[in-house]
Amino acid sequence: MDFITVNDGTKIYYKDWGTGQPIVFHHGWPLSADDWDTQMMFFLAHGYRVIAHDRRGHGRSTQTFSGNDMDTYAADVDELVTALKLTNAIHVGHSTGGGEVIRYVAQHGKGRVAKAAIISAIPPTMLISDKNPEGVPMSIFDDIRNGTAYHRSQFYQDITIPFYGYNRPGVKISQGIRDNWWRQGMMGGIKAHYDCVKVFSETEFYDDLKVIDVPVLVMHSEDDQIAPYKVTGAKSWKLLKHGTLKSYTDLPHGMPTTHAEVINADLLAFLKS
């Protein structure tokens, strides 16, 4: 297995397959690089070099007690990009990973990033506030914290239902997809996952979005039950200098998995544009 050791001693696991222009995939909470398997296979077959890492505290990376914050996540990515000597890279992030992409590109990506895409992502911010009156109430995130800290195994099974839109009429449930989400979640560290709830709910990306000067594709569904469209995707697009919004009517938060053929095709079209 491939790891790098970052400056605080944390070991970050990564996959690195193929040759060609690199695409770096950033996963959501509380998952791992494995959540990108379908995209990795698809873009590998289209001639890209595909890379995905397990964020600190997630998957096979060190189960960290500290450093579970967005600035450190982005700094870890910078160390990975430097170690792999990546240039002209494309960064693609889902959910919390979309926030990681935006923070990385804004703080570290100058001269290294060609394009970026964020899917069902958390920017510009999730939590309700005077600045974000349509945001999600803190009580929702407190429930996620409680479930993570005290009922993690069951909670990680239950959350797959809204995550993949399996509570919508007529939707066929895939037990394999649910089991794989649970498997990935339970691989990671509970302390890091608990801390990450604050990261994905309270981090603000307004300034990051405004300074990014490369093309960014924002992919978001109007029926996202985790990162509401009007709070996140629709607002992020308006803050970007070179943003493109691709919205969907009724796909779930986890659409890269449930509707991989749609997401992969739209993402490929953006990369080739």
- Residue 93 carries which DSSP code? E
Distance between CA 56 and CA 27 in Å, rounded? 11
Q: What pTM was computed for the model?
A: 0.98
Distance between CA 30 and CA 156 in Å, rounded? 9
Q: Is the pLDDT of residue 124 over 70?
A: yes
Nearest residue to 99 (alpha-carbon basis) of 200, 24, 195, 22: 200
- Ordered by start, the domain boundaries in the chain are 2-272
Q: Is the pLDDT of residue 262 over 80?
A: yes
Classify burial at 201, counting beta carbons within 10 Å of its beta carbon; exposed 0-12, middle 13-18, buried 19 or more: buried
At residue 147 the predicted structure's pLDDT band, cuts being 50, 70 and 90, is very high
Angle made by CA atoms 190, 192, 195, in degrees to the nearest 5: 110
Angle made by CA atoms 92, 97, 100, in degrees to the nearest 5: 95
At residue 19 the predicted structure's pLDDT band, cuts being 50, 70 and 90, is very high
Q: What is the DSSP string of 13-38?
A: EEEEE-SSSEEEEE--TT--GGGGHH
Nearest residue to 272 (alpha-carbon basis) of 117, 143, 162: 117
- pLDDT for the residue 1: 65
Sheet containing 2-5: order of strands = 2-5, 11-17, 49-53, 22-26, 89-94, 113-119, 216-221, 243-248
Distance between CA 162 and CA 142 in Å, rounded? 17
Active site residues: 95, 224, 253
Classify burial at 28, counting beta carbons within 10 Å of its beta carbon; exposed 0-12, middle 13-18, buried 19 or more: buried
Q: Is the pLDDT of residue 186 over 70?
A: yes
Within 37-137, residue ranges assigned H as helices are 37-45, 70-83, 96-108
Distance between CA 85 and CA 105 in Å, rounded? 16
Within the chain, residue ranges assigned H as helices are 37-45, 70-83, 96-108, 138-150, 152-158, 160-163, 175-187, 190-202, 206-211, 233-239, 255-258, 260-272
Q: Measured between alpha carbons, how far is residue 220 from residues 32, 34, 116, 249 in Å?
A: 21, 21, 14, 9
CATH number of this structure's domain 2-272, picked from the four choices 3.60.15.10, 1.20.120.1200, 3.40.50.1820, 3.40.980.10? 3.40.50.1820
**pLDDT tens digits for 26-57?**
999 999 999 999 999 999 999 999 999 999 99
- pLDDT for the residue 215: 98
